[in-house]
Structure 1
Amino acid sequence: MTRSVRHGAHGARDARNPRARRSRRAWRGYLYVLPALLVYLTFAVLPALHTAYLSLFAWDGVTLGEWVGLDNYREVFADPALRGSVLHALVLVVFFSGLPILAGLAMTGLLSPGRSPGGALGRRRGLSAYRLLFMLPQVVPLVAVGVTWRWLYGADGLINETLEGIGLGGWTRAWLGDFDWALVAVGLVGTWVLSGLCMMLFLSGVHKIDPQLYEAARLDGAGPVREFVSVTLPQLRGELAVALTVTLVAALAGFDIVYVTTGGGPGEETTVPGLLVYRLAFSDGKVGLASALGVVLSLLILVLVYVVGRLSRPGRTPA
């Protein structure tokens, strides 16, 4: 009886004070996410803060470090090799982000030509096989991808053999050892790996588009291309933002493909920040400088992701 009276008193007080009820629900929600938050703080936030702290020291990873303040950051921006690695990563954005998104949109337009008035996605024979084929690079480990493409790009690899076979022997070269083409060759591997991921993101987004939009476009006389540009593309804004975020991170923080295919060579032509951080920390004994480069790279990624998020916010509904 007393418990019922107390519960009734709390209920009446909550009814009179909606803010207290919302506050109680909010705290309950925080309790549910607390375990995941603790894991995130332990394995993501705290290591990031520790890296930022190490970037203020000249430390070889073994002996006591020497406080140098912002000297490591000055070296990041002053050293041509360090600046060059960031520029190489920005070039790879074109191949890891721009080309895969364009290829994914093109494949989405070919594989899902709108919806029927009944709401079913336009069918294409062999659609499942196409999806499996283009998603295969996401299943294969990147180390295996790098080894395979290193063989394909080799002096006696399949690419050069094909060029010889079709009478373009003058184009053959050691692609990964060529100072002019090595970075492009590595970038095209990233294009191949990420195009299927972008395609699957966009195909999943097509499923949520209202079929009546396609029907209205057809009644206005829109063809397949106009239908894709005016209906499908504007409705994929969220998927485009996700694809752009994922591919940007892959381009700027990439390590596996470059390490396996070229190791940063020839010279420093394919050196990227992820590879340089590894070298500085574990080969050159410059943990502080490696940490500073990692912090700069992380900030660059955060800024770009923030810009993508701002640009992808819904605006006016397309006519």
Structure 2
Amino acid sequence: MNPEQARWFGETFGSLVASVERSILGKTEAVRLAWTCMLAEGHLLLEDYPGTGKTTLARAMAQTVQGTNSRIQFTPDLLPSDVTGVTIYDQKTAEFEFHQGPIFASIVLADEINRASPKTQSALLEVMEESRVTVDAISYEVGNPFMVIATQNPIEQAGTYRLPEAQLDRFLMKTTLGYPNHEATLRILATGGSRPRSSPLPAIITTAQVAEMAQLAASVHIEASIFDYIARLVEATRTATDVRLGASVRGALALVRTTRVWAASQGRHFVVPDDVKMLAIPCLAHRLILDPEAEFNGVQAVDIAAATLGSVAPPTERQTA
């Protein structure tokens, strides 16, 4: 990526964020993280309370890139075929025909994903990793771009199934929207009667341009000292106090991918340590498995990731061969 391409990327990224903020008020950082996740070709996990705009975020992002969106309400009786689709016998043609499930969309909102059984949750593993669904030994591509925005409710844990570590590791980032601040709340209340945020948003770019931006972001330069910094951060999570299992190599790769997009979104064609600091907690915290005693004592993975970030010194000069 050259400086001119970085400048164009940053301007386009800003337009995407501004468009979605017409529907999600006062959540600039969360919206930027969501777009970073999409352009890094990853998936986003939102742990948030009801009514914070998770569905609105997914719909607004899909409209902004001329894509499709679907919403799957996960419940204990949801079957894997309800997500991926099913093959049905057509008596007229005497052939089996595949009927696509709601997973075939540009942006899929998996609402309250931890309320479905582990069998149904596992139906997402292949499609999140390989962007395809296999039904009756036949694989079907879900298209590009493809992003899963899954939500979890931090309260009302009765009747839920905790996401397995293998599935948590497939989410590129985990973040939260949270409640709007006072000024944003006033704006929402002032326009609540006319519901202007429910109207479709104009498309800023096409789905093909999303793929082009993702490829462009992958060419952002990362020098050796930054790679070393990321490696030291990930390794530090594995030896941190109260951690039973630290971040995997997939977590390190997630940091590499997202920092490239974040740097380009700032109009830069190279990554700096501050990019890593900004994205380390969203990319690594949900991958940490804590000791049961630490969890019982109220220790949170976010706090451990923040402490690790503070204990690992960033690079101050370039590494020479």
Give the structure-1-normalised TM-score. 0.27
Q: Which has the higher strand share?
A: 2
Q: Which has the higher helix share?
A: 1
Higher relative contact order (CA 8 A, sep 6+): 1
Q: In terms of Rg, which structure is larger?
A: 1
Give the structure-2-normalised TM-score. 0.27
